[in-house]
Every structure is written in C-alpha cells, then in structure tokens.
Structure 1
Amino acid sequence: MEASEIHILSVGTALPGDPLDNAALARHFGMDPIWEQWVDAFVGTRARHLSVELDTGKLRSSLADLAARASARALENAGMDAGDIDLVVLGTATPDQLMPATVNIVADRLGIDGVPTYQLQSGCAGAFQALDVGRQMLRGGGHRTALVIGGELCSRHYDPGADLAKLDSAELVNFVLFGDGAGAAVLSTEPVSGAPVVRRVLNRLTGLHREPGQVVEWTGALDRADADRSHIKEDYKAIEESVPVMSREIAEEILGDLGWAASDIDYLLPPQLSGRMTRRIVENLDMPLAEEITRVDTIANTGNAMPFFQLEEVLPQLAPGDRVLGVSVESSKWLKAGFALELA
C-alpha cells in the first residue's frame, strides 16, 4: 500500500571546529586588510568552519565523522534509535573515499544494518536528491522511516600553503565561499504533531550543451599537492548570471504545480552561495511576505549540508498552515532543485 504523505520528523546538524572569520583567514594566507574588506563587502560571507587545520594541513574530522554526528542528533530529536531506520540516503559532492561509500561508514557508526543504503554524488542538489529518493522509497509502501543525510568536506580542496596572490579569480573565490558541515533528517510515513508534510520535491538536469559552472577534481589539493591542474574552479560570473534566474524558475514551477501563490509562502530557504549572492537571489524571487532563512553569512556555503541547517532553524518556528519553500541550483552542470513543505 502506497503511503500518501511523508513527514519530516526531525533534523540534526554538525560543524567542525570553531568559526574561522575573514580576518583570521587573511592572516593565515598573508593577505592585506583590503582583501579582507573585499570579502566582507563583495562576497558577504563573514565566517566558515573547516575540518582542515590550516597551520598543519591535517584533517581533524572526516565527512563520516560529521555525518554521523548530525545523524545521531536527528535520531535523538526524533526519539528514535538505529533499529527504527528502514533506509539511509546520503547526498554529497565530497565523499571521504571511493570505496567503501561514506554512507555505509555512517550507517555502521550509528549501528544501522540490514537496510538499503544509497549514496548520491552531487553538488548542491544532492540534499534535495537524497530527500527525493527517501520520499519516493517511503511512498512505495515498503518502508516507514528514512534517514536522509547531506554534507560536504570542502576543505579537502584547500591548499593551506597556497599563495593566494598568484591565483586567478576562478580559484581564489573558493577559499572564501565554502565551509564544511553535515546535516540529517528523519522522514516518516507516520503523522506526528508538528512534523511538516513534504508536498513537492523537484530535481531536474537542465545543462544540455552548457559549459559547467564548477569543476571539482576527484581528489583534493591535500591528496595530490604535486598535481599541475587546478583541483577546483568556479565560473562565478556564469553563476551570478544564471542562479537568480534559475531560482525564480524553480519557485514558479513548484508553486504552479501545487496551486500556491508566492504570497502563500511563510518561510523561504534560498540557495546559499554567498551572502551577497543570496541577497540577489532573494530579491529576484520577490516573496516579501516570506521570512528568509539564511545561514551562509556565518557558516559559508556548506553545499549539501546547508538545507539541513536551514530546516533546523525553520522547523521549530512552524505553526499549523505554514508553508516552506526550499530552492537550490547546482552549477556544476546546471541542475534545478527544490522542495515545498506544509504543516497541516
């Protein structure tokens, strides 16, 4: 029997270490105060959490570490344990290794066994894809509870000894945009008071014949310090031009499918590229009645972890009848992603 409604019971998140502000980042890389002011004014991201220790170049936490912590918190918040989970899905662009899959390491640490597990290789759309897979599996009627995870270890692609003054803008921007983190949510077919219903999830590739907006090599600078090619590049101009437009298209499609108006949205979870870009996106979405849930200014762009940080903030605020719209764009090959929630 197919389950008609899927509910988000709880969320948990995890960040590594203390926040690293722009002044500390500038000091480490020997950049002058003007660079710090440029980051504050034109990027709009004030701090980030990194798993890499810049002074030593060592990783102090893996993606599995962060994902397991976030998942344990989500389970605790839902009042559940490992035996209650029927399937696990992880979305990430930065798994710890090729094999074993990070999702299986996380499941093992949580004590989860004998259930289906899935790992989706994706950029900022990965959390939405994981949510979609978990939702569809539960709707099929064979399972009741899913653990959905998203996370990134972006600092694997940091070179702590890099001379930032010699980098072109396509590489330099990544040192200030990204942070590490993980998040998890427990989904269930069982209605629980205060748990919103997932009304719609959108995932769509739209990059036919378009050049990638971002390219990330499989291993990071810490793994292959002697490699000649850049490990991560971002066409930030293309992203600036495309993401606000695509975000509006995503919102219009989801609202149209549900028969909702923009004025019906109580909380907006916009894409979290940078503080400055998020402001542009929100202005273009034009939902003045919706409360914007933004974390990028204090934890930076955490990729597939970010939607869980936004959900963690919004879920306790929901009142009956409230509606939530989440939007994301993956610029690696131009994917549209989004979801709509409602507290019935």
Structure 2
Amino acid sequence: MTRIDDPAGAYLAAVGTALPGEPVDNATLGRLLGVSEEWIDIFVGTRARYFAWDLETGEVRRTLVDLCAEAGARALESAGLEAADIEFVVLSTATPDALLPTTATQVADRLGLDHLPVYQLQAGCSGAVQALDLGRSLLAGGAGAGLVLGGDVTARHLDVRRDPARMPTEELVNYVLFGDGAGAAVLTDEPLGERVAVRGVLNSFAGLGRPAGQTVDWYGVSDRHSERPMLAEDYKAIEESVPAMAVEIFWELLDRVGWSTADVDHLLPPQLSERMTARIVEHMAIPSVHEVSCVSDTGNTGNALPFLQLERLLPQLADGQRAIGVTVESSKWIKTGFALEKV
C-alpha cells in the first residue's frame, strides 16, 4: 500500500554538522597508502575526506559521540531551541562507538537531554532518512520538537597497520572512499527557523532475494582474529543498480507528493563518491534542476551525508522552492528519499 503523505506536520528548523580535524587530500592519503593520486581519482574522484583517527598511528582522536554531540549542539543553537524543548532523539549509524551504551544515549547525555525517548537505528546510507521518517512519526504522535542525527567513524574498519600492497583493490578503495563526520537536524511540528516542510519521505526495503552489495562486519571475542575483511563491496552490483534505483526513488517521491519534474528546484543525489554521483545524476537526466552535492570535499561519510547536503542546500532554498533528496543503501538494497519545500 502506498502511503499518502500529510503535506503538513513536520518541518526542518535547522541543521548542524561536524567534520573532524583537517581535510586529508589525495596526495597525503596516496603517500600513506603507497598509491598515486591518479589511482584515487580514477576509482572515486573524491578530492578530500576527514578522519577522526590519526593516519599514522590509528589513534582515535574524536569519537562518534563527540561528532554527533557537536552537530546536535550546532543544530539546536541554529534553531534557537534549548535542551528542554527537545522531546525525542533518533540517531542512525553503521559504526557505533560501542554496542552498549548506545551512541544515541551518550549523545543525549552530552547535550543535557533527559526523560525523553532515545532511539538508535543501525543503518548505512539510508539511515538519515530512516531517522527522519521515525522523527515525523513521533511528531505526528504529539511531540513538538525532536533531534535526528546521523554519523559514522571508520576507525574500527580501516586498519592503517596493514600493508596496502597486499590488499585487494576492492578493499583498498575503502581507504580512499570513506571519511568521518556527523550531522543533525531539529524537527518541529510547526514552521520554525528555516521553515522547511517535509512533504514526503520514502523508506523501502528492496532487497528480497538479492545478495548484499555491501557488508560491514563486526568481530567479537571468539572471531577477532578472523581473516574476513571488515568492509566488503560488490562494486559491479553497485555501479549497475544504484543509478537505476535513484531514478526509481525520484519518480516514486514525485508521485507520492503530487509534483512534476518542473516543480523541483534542487536535487540532492546519492553521495557514494564524486565519480559515482556524477554518473547517477547523468543517468537521472532531470533538466533545469540544481544539484547539491558534497562528497568530493567530505568523502563518503555514510549517515552524515544527507545532513551535509542539507547544510549546503538551506542557504540556497528560497521561499516556495522545492527539493528532492535521494539515497540508496547497497548493503541489502534500501531505497530512501525525501521531498522538501520552503514555506
């Protein structure tokens, strides 16, 4: 059954983001990995990324809690709200600092939030939209304002002590593809701050019977010395499937909210890598729409990416303008997206 979205009831009041340290360019990363800048450009096209851990030693200098709390504090300040105004927290990540206590509760504690529902979603690129979807439901249930967050830190999954020369290409590329970061948005039940209405959200599992396109592993005490890679992608499947899925999401969202392509002013496309994003946008072939991308400057920050895109979008979004955001999670193939309108 297709859900008909209520055109009112959920608004983005503000967005905040956090990126750790200084940007790491391709020359610096190439020297560390023993690969050329040209190789990085050919495979991903991304110019820079940020890491919460030291490239030489692997020491973690900023945790996911640190980054999410920073992003959340910025979003609250931008919205002009206090901790007492927030009635729920939803955080999505693929790389929590620990299994328990959850990163979400640690962030709530850091922000001075208490006596409210706190949810943590385990997700990849679809996570920020899933958090938005749950946030809308909580607003519909009577909450007045809430905080949704997303972020990832790669330290547990990228090992700088390994010899890059002995890594297969499909594993080595993760070291140049991903980066760390976090983002947050304040959701309200009335137009405050940026006054951006969430007109529709798509959140749909589409992987029945399909092999996973990406696996992010987790080692416990019994298998911590396993030779299984922490990150594994089926890049052929991703390259073949994601552009087509992005088109499907775009048209499904338009149908859901009753818009035509002429009604869309801004497009926030999937942010896998600079080269992949360019390929997706070309495949979508939407005329007269302004692209809002960030991955070439931030790397693939997973759950933080839509917030980083929104931070770039909001200063450009004029009254009455509309935007469509599209995200695809290739882990088990999840289609997500959102439709926004400045009111």
TM-score after normalising by structure 1: 0.95
CA contact (8 A) 1:47 1:297 kept: yes
CA contact (8 A) 1:3 1:139 kept: no
One-letter amino acid matched to 2:320? G
CA distance in 1, matches of 2:194, 2:26: 38
Q: Which amino acid aligns with 2:96?
A: P
- Could you tell me which of 21, 25, 48 is aligned with 1:21? 25
- The answer (yes or no) to whether the contact 1:4–1:139 under 8 Å persists in 2 is no
How far did residue 318 of structure 1 move?
1.3
2:247 corresponding residue in structure 1: 248
Are the counterparts in 2 of residues 124 and 328 from structure 1 also a CA contact under 8 Å?
yes
Equivalent residues in 2 for 1:95-106 (5 A)?
Answer: 95-106=96-107
Report the Cα offset of residue 219 of structure 1.
4.6
For residues 81-160 of structure 1, the aligned pairs below 5 Å read: 81-141=82-142, 143-160=143-160
Change (3 A) 1:92 1:280: same
Q: Quick one: which amino acid aligns to residue 297 of structure 1?
A: S
Per-residue deviation, 1:166? 1.7
Counterpart amino acid of 1:158?
L
Contact 1:265–1:287 (CA<8 Å) still a contact in 2? no
Q: What does 1:153-192 align with in structure 2 at a 5 Å threshold?
A: 153-192=153-192
> Whole-Å Cα distance in 2 between the matches of residues 5 and 285 of structure 1?
30
Cα RMSD (Å) of the superposition?
1.6
Check conservation: 2:8, 2:199, Cα contact below 8 A: no
Does structure 1 conserve the Cα–Cα contact (< 8 Å) formed by 2:43 and 2:173? no
Instruction: Output the CA distance in 2 between the equivalents of 1:219 and 1:341.
Output: 39
Determine helix, strand or coil for the equivalent of 1:329. Answer: strand
Gap runs ≥5 in structure 1: none
CA–CA separation in structure 1 for the residues paired with 2:79 and 2:192: 10
Aligned to 2:3: none
Matched, 1:229 2:233: no
Conserved 8 A contact 1:267-1:323:
yes
Following the alignment from structure 1 to structure 2, what is the Cα–Cα distance between the partners of residues 58 and 69? 20
Is structure 2 residue 81 aligned with structure 1 residue 80?
A: yes
Which has the higher mean CA deviation after the structures are superposed, 233-242 or 285-294?
A: 285-294
Other-structure match for 1:277: 276
- List gaps (5 residues or longer) in structure 2: 1-5
- Structure 2 distance, partners of 1:218, 1:184, is 26
Q: Show the counterpart of 2:338.
A: 339
- CA apart distance, 1:156: 2.3
Shift of 1:193: 6.0
Looking at structure 2, the residues matched to 47 and 237 of structure 1 have their Cα atoms a distance apart, in angstroms, of: 24
Shift of 1:218: 1.9
Q: Distance in 1 between matches of 2:45 and 2:66?
A: 29
Q: Distance in 2 between matches of 1:282 and 1:188?
A: 31
Note the alpha carbon deviations across 1:170-202, whole angstroms, 9 max, x for none. Answer: 211211110000000000012236411000011
Q: Which residue of 2 aligns with 1:207?
A: 207
* Displacement of 1:259: 1.7
- SS class of match (1:137): helix
Once the two structures are TM-superposed, the CA of residue 208 in structure 1 deviates from its matched residue by 0.6
The amino acid of 1:86's aligned partner reads E
Of all paired residues, the percent bearing the same amino acid is 56
Q: How does 1:47-58 map to 2 (within 5 A)?
A: 47-58=48-59
8 A Cα contact 1:151 1:181, kept in partner: yes
* Distance in 2 separating the partners of 1:168 and 1:204: 33
Show CA shifts across 1:101-129 (max 9, x none).
10000000000000001000001001000
CA deviation profile, 1:183-240 (whole Å, cap 9, x unmatched): 00000012236411000011111101100000111259xxx87432111101111100
Using the TM superposition, give the Cα deviation of residue 3 of structure 1 relative to its aligned residue in structure 2, in angstroms: 10
